């Protein structure tokens, strides 16, 4: 598809994996079983990703508090540690070439590795939540609260949680268990949501454990007396120099909840920075209200030998992420000729697979069946917890680009002048040009332009993403060693 070569002349490894969450860890373990040399780069200082953050360090009480699904990360991390992959923690990947060379920064210096294949397992980011007042000090995200809890055991007092999505309930229950219940939970999913979810209920029942867990969380919050406001609209944060109150409407009545800590959340979306950088094709996922990379059945993108596993392939959660990691790694092994290629045949049980009594075709079939089963809850969740219209199409005065302080109204005005897409709006207004590289405003800007032009978001498309993926010191670039190193420094 492109004139650029897609293979590095002397790759340092068979497989490079970005991210050491469930998808990256599972992919590394599977690829090592198939005999591939593997390098895993991850920004954190220990394996786990966001979902299993600090899993190795979190013991006893805190692990109990975070629940059995969090604890499930421990054996995976242990297997990952022992799998023989070269693991580079604290490594920030800031560039990926078309020939699958990766430039990464580690403790102030940059290095380079390369793979014959690449699995991008960089997961999800919280959907940015452009509401009036969302840039005030004291306003954070539910994900940020969870990082404080997992990594440091810290919980703020009297926080008001605003938004929608399963994570909002999970963090509320975890705060409750830690002894600092939230002051209130304000749910912004629109009142029509219940009608939308009913068709998906039979599918959701196939994933009964997830559903039961959700209902239990809501019951526990109610029993503990945490006020739940459902169907809230027109949410905003008031304050002059910092957050002072959350204000919203419910059934025509305006509520005002004073607080100095507000955690916003509108679900999570794939982190598409690396797939955009590599110019992989993307498609608008109308159910998840986000872009997802176009993938074949084995999770390969439109760019040869580039795969996506985990939530970056579309939001699926930790169990699906690990399954996807295995699928992608097996396919890499097949393509590189270290595993026998065989089409999926009969379905087999997970027990048969783990007992080693099955062929690789049966392994495929089993993996794909497990994936389908785990995904059954998704249409239900996606319908129930669709991001609020207020966030998808912010009011004119709401800031969408925090770095360059550009409002939704300015974006609409640029469209009215004739700017056809996000890249023209970016060039014209500077929206998306700040240090976050458009992570915070990209979806909103594409959405606003699509709405204003009456086109689908994948027609107006998304920002072109350029390196560095994270800010890089000029002095570090000036001392970059252009030769890839076979032995990645540890």
Partner 1 sequence: MSGPGKAVDLLVIGAGIHGCSAALHAAIRGMSVTVIEKDTAGRHASGVNAGGVRRLGRHLDEVPLSQHSMGIWNRITDLVDDDCGFQRAPQIKVAETEEELDQHRERVATLNARGFTHEVILDRAALRHHLPAVADHCVGGLASLEDGFAQPYQTTFAFQRKARALGVTFLENTRVDRVYREGVDWKARIGDGSVITGRTLLNCAGAWAGELARQLGESAPVEAIAPMMLVTNRLPHFCDAVVGATGRPLSFKQMPNGTVVIGGGRRGLADPDTNGTEMLFSELRLTAATAIDLFPIMRDAKIVRSWSGIEGRMPDDIPIIGPSQVAENAFHAFGFSAHGFQMGPGVGDIMAELIATGYTQAPIAPFAISRFSQGAL
The nearer residue to partner 1, 41 or 377, going by C-beta atoms, is 41
Shortest CA distance to 275 belongs to which of 121, 461, 60, 451?
121
Beta strand 406-407 pairing with 399-401? antiparallel
The nearer residue to partner 1, 2 or 349, going by C-beta atoms, is 2
H-type alpha helices, 55-200: 60-66, 68-71, 73-81, 142-147, 166-177, 193-197
Task: Assess contact for 15 and 314: CB atoms under 8 A.
Answer: no
Quote the tokens at residue 366.
């089993």
Beta bridge partners of 263: 140, 161
The nearer residue to partner 1, 1 or 490, going by C-beta atoms, is 1
Shortest distance, position 307 Cβ to partner 1, whole Å: 20
Cis amide bond preceding 275, omega within 30: no
The nearer residue to partner 1, 466 or 486, going by C-beta atoms, is 466
What is the dihedral sign for C-alpha 279, 6, 471, 295? Answer: positive
Shortest distance, position 283 Cβ to partner 1, whole Å: 19
The nearer residue to partner 1, 146 or 446, going by C-beta atoms, is 446
Shortest distance, position 463 Cβ to partner 1, whole Å: 11
The nearer residue to partner 1, 354 or 479, going by C-beta atoms, is 479
Shortest distance, position 421 Cβ to partner 1, whole Å: 7
Shortest CA distance to 289 belongs to which of 456, 437, 57, 430?
456
Shortest distance, position 97 Cβ to partner 1, whole Å: 7
Shortest distance, position 309 Cβ to partner 1, whole Å: 24
The nearer residue to partner 1, 166 or 468, going by C-beta atoms, is 468
Shortest distance, position 444 Cβ to partner 1, whole Å: 19
Q: How many CA atoms lie within 13 A of 243 on its CB side?
A: 27
Sheet holding 233-238, edge to edge: 233-238, 245-250, 253-258
The nearer residue to partner 1, 255 or 430, going by C-beta atoms, is 430
First to last CA, the chain: 36
Angle (nearest 5°) at CA 186 between 182 and 187: 130
**Residue 379: exposed, middle, or buried by beta-carbon count in 10 A (0-12, 13-18, 19+)?**
middle
**Residue 233: exposed, middle, or buried by beta-carbon count in 10 A (0-12, 13-18, 19+)?**
middle
The nearer residue to partner 1, 267 or 484, going by C-beta atoms, is 484
**Residue 347: exposed, middle, or buried by beta-carbon count in 10 A (0-12, 13-18, 19+)?**
exposed
Taking only Cα atoms into account, the Rg of the chain, rounded to an integer number of angstroms, comes to: 23
Shortest distance, position 100 Cβ to partner 1, whole Å: 12
Quote the tokens at residue 300.
């390969």
Shortest distance, position 324 Cβ to partner 1, whole Å: 28
- Which parts of this chain interact with partner 1 (CB under 8 A)? 1-4, 95, 97-98, 103, 279, 417-421, 423-424, 427-428, 430, 433-435, 437, 466-468, 471-475, 477-480, 482
Tell me the DSSP string of 12-29: SEEEEEE--SHHHHHHHH
Shortest distance, position 272 Cβ to partner 1, whole Å: 17
Shortest CA distance to 322 belongs to which of 51, 25, 82, 49?
25
Shortest CA distance to 389 belongs to which of 289, 292, 262, 271?
289
Shortest distance, position 1 Cβ to partner 1, whole Å: 7
The nearer residue to partner 1, 347 or 485, going by C-beta atoms, is 485
Residue 357: which region, alpha, beta or left (left: phi > 0; alpha: psi -120 to 50)? alpha
The nearer residue to partner 1, 193 or 472, going by C-beta atoms, is 472
Tell me the DSSP string of 435-451: TTTTTTTHHHHHHHHHH
The nearer residue to partner 1, 361 or 420, going by C-beta atoms, is 420
Shortest distance, position 140 Cβ to partner 1, whole Å: 23
């Amino acid at each position: 598809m492109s004139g650029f070569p897609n293979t590095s002349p002397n790759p340092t490894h068979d497989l490079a994996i970005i991210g050491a969450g469930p998808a990256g860890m599972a992919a590394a373990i599977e690829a090592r079983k198939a005999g591939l040399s593997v390098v895993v780069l991850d920004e954190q200082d220990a394996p786990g990703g966001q979902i299993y953050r600090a899993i190795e360090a979190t013991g006893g009480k805190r692990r109990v508090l975070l629940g059995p699904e969090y604890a499930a990360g421990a054996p995976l991390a242990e297997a990952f540690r022992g799998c023989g992959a070269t693991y580079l923690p604290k490594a920030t990947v800031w560039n990926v070439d078309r020939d699958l060379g990766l430039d990464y920064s580690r403790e102030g210096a940059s290095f380079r590795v390369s793979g014959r294949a690449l699995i991008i397992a960089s997961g999800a980011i919280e959907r940015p939540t452009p509401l009036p007042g969302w840039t005030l000090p004291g306003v954070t995200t539910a994900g940020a609260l969870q990082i404080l809890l997992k990594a440091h055991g810290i919980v703020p007092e009297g926080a008001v949680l605003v938004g929608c999505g399963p994570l909002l309930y999970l963090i509320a229950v975890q705060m409750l268990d830690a002894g600092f219940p939230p002051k209130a939970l304000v749910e912004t999913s629109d009142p029509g949501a219940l009608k939308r979810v009913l068709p998906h209920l039979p599918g959701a029942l196939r994933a009964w454990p997830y559903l039961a867990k959700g209902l239990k969380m809501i019951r526990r919050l109610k029993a503990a007396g945490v006020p739940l406001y459902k169907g809230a609209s027109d949410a905003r944060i008031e304050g002059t120099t910092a957050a002072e109150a959350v204000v919203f409407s419910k059934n025509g009545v305006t509520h005002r909840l004073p607080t100095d800590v507000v955690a916003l959340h509108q679900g999570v979306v794939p982190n598409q920075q690396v797939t955009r950088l590599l110019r992989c094709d993307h498609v608008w996922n109308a159910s998840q209200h986000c872009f997802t990379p176009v993938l074949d059945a084995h999770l390969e993108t439109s760019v040869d030998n580039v795969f996506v596993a985990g939530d970056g392939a579309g939001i699926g959660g930790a169990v699906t992420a690990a399954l996807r990691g295995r699928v992608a790694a097996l396919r890499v092994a097949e393509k590189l000729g270290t595993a026998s290629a065989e089409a999926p045949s009969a379905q087999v049980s997970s027990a048969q697979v783990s007992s080693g009594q099955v062929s690789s075709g049966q392994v495929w079939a089993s993996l794909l069946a497990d994936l389908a089963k785990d995904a059954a809850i998704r249409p239900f969740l996606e319908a129930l917890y669709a991001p609020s219209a207020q966030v998808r199409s912010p009011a004119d005065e709401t800031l969408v680009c925090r770095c360059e302080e550009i409002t939704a109204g300015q974006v609409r005005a640029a469209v009215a002048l004739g700017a056809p897409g996000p890249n023209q709006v970016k060039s014209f207004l500077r929206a998306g040009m700040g240090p976050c590289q458009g992570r915070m405003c990209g979806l909103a800007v594409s959405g606003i332009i699509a709405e204003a032009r009456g086109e689908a978001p994948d027609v107006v498309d998304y920002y072109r993403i350029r390196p560095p993926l994270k800010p890089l010191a000029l002095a570090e670039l000036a001392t970059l060693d252009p030769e890839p190193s076979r032995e990645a420094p540890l």
